[in-house]
Amino acid sequence: MATKVLVVDDSSFFRRRVSEIVNQDDDLEVVGVAVNGQEAIDMAEKLKPQVITMDIEMPVMDGITAVRKIMATNPTPILMFSSLTHDGAKATLDALDAGALDFLPKRFEDIASKKEEAIKLLQLRVKTLGRRRLYKPLPRTVTARNAADAANPASLRTTLASKPALNNRSQANNSQASSAQNVCSASAIRASGKKYKALLIGTSTGGPVALQKVLTAFPANYPHPILLIQHMPAAFTPAFASRLNSLCQITVKEAQNGDVLQPGCAYLAPGGMQLMVERSGSFGRLKVIAGNAEMNYKPSVDITFASASKVFGGDVLAVVLTGMGADGREGARMLKAAGATIWAQDEASCVVYGMPQAVTVAGLSTHSIAIDSMAESIIKETARG
């Protein structure tokens, strides 16, 4: 049965173009179109689509407000279309906060260099989100940022209210993935006593919300530098780093070439570039380069992980969070060979289980951890200076 899609945009040209692309795939079917956010809410209730594509700026009701209302009443996987501008980045991040799961550039030439590739990528994103099953979220009662004990790693508690698990089962891979997982709660994690020099986190689809959930729980005195590799356009990473910095007790910045790594600071790989680590001083120094034009991902988790394996050896905790594809697997393999510890997000809490599944099935990760338990688990394992 084809995945039912609702297309929402105030431009008749864009509605028609997206509908044509979606309907070209036999596994997808546009069941309705809406011209503003209020119509989207009404049609989500009436048509029960499995995926919604949503514009941000629309008359009557904007896309962000519509996302928030739909997620409260008829939770549905939502793919945002955004302009690659600073304002577009901020609006898209607001939409993700409101509950949207993914985003793509509104100009198809910004999605991929070739028209055919852009069409296939859009179809793949819609089909992937169509496998999600969402539930009404529980109210959030307290944030880690405001928890009284957030500055004390030894007594850190999980203070974000648990969200119902998202069903991301793929029938083809379910048996293999489940057998490879060792799903752990934070309370089940026993600190190994190992000393670390750095924390690395790689992610893609679903990553902005996952990273925010993890990093906002870190105390200001976290003792290690943190490298963040998030698949994201160049126009988005400055706004994302700024947003994280405003929410977190640690410092978060977009990485710059020559940055000397400091404890308690998270460095976000710039979009469109590659982030590498060089030997320098106690913690190392960052190198930001354009990299190979043929690389699928800029930034690439594999490249950052691989460079870290040469500088830090096994003194690294590398975590692979939600994301499409397998970026990070080969870099994790190099880190693992050097003695590093690899963790993955568990399947149930991922928006897309591709990247964590890749390292899990390859036997590289020792634990699969729900996103609500990830921060507490990381702090418990790495709090030693």
Contacts of 98 (CB under 8 A, 6+ apart): 64, 65, 67, 68, 71
Are 37 and 50 in contact, with CB atoms under 8 Å apart?
Answer: no
Amino acid in the structure at residue 28 = L
Are 9 and 35 in contact, with CB atoms under 8 Å apart?
Answer: yes
Beta-bridged to residue 316, according to DSSP, are 198
| Apex 75 CA angle, 69 and 78, nearest 5 | 85
Are 344 and 371 in contact, with CB atoms under 8 Å apart?
Answer: no
Residue 104 and residue 227: Cα distance in Å, rounded? Answer: 24
Choose the catalytic residue: 327, 346, 349, 372.
327
Are 54 and 78 in contact, with CB atoms under 8 Å apart?
Answer: yes
Choose the catalytic residue: 9, 82, 94, 204.
204
The two structure tokens encoding residue 262: 């400091």
Contacts of 138 (CB under 8 A, 6+ apart): 161, 162, 163, 164
Are 363 and 332 in contact, with CB atoms under 8 Å apart?
Answer: no
Neighbours of 292 (CB within 10 A): 11
Choose the catalytic residue: 62, 231, 242, 346.
231
Query: Among this protein's residues, is 327 annotated catalytic?
Result: yes
The two structure tokens encoding residue 17: 């173009």
Residue 228 and residue 309: Cα distance in Å, rounded? Answer: 15
As a three-state string, the secondary structure of 141-192 is CCCHHHCCCCCCHHHCCCCCCCCCCCECCCCCCHHHHHHHCCEECHHHCCCC
Query: Among this protein's residues, is 97 annotated catalytic?
Result: no
Rounded to the nearest 10 degrees, how much is the dihedral formed by the CA atoms of 385, 268, 144, 373? -80
Query: Among this protein's residues, is 12 annotated catalytic?
Result: no
Catalytic residue numbers read: 204, 231, 327
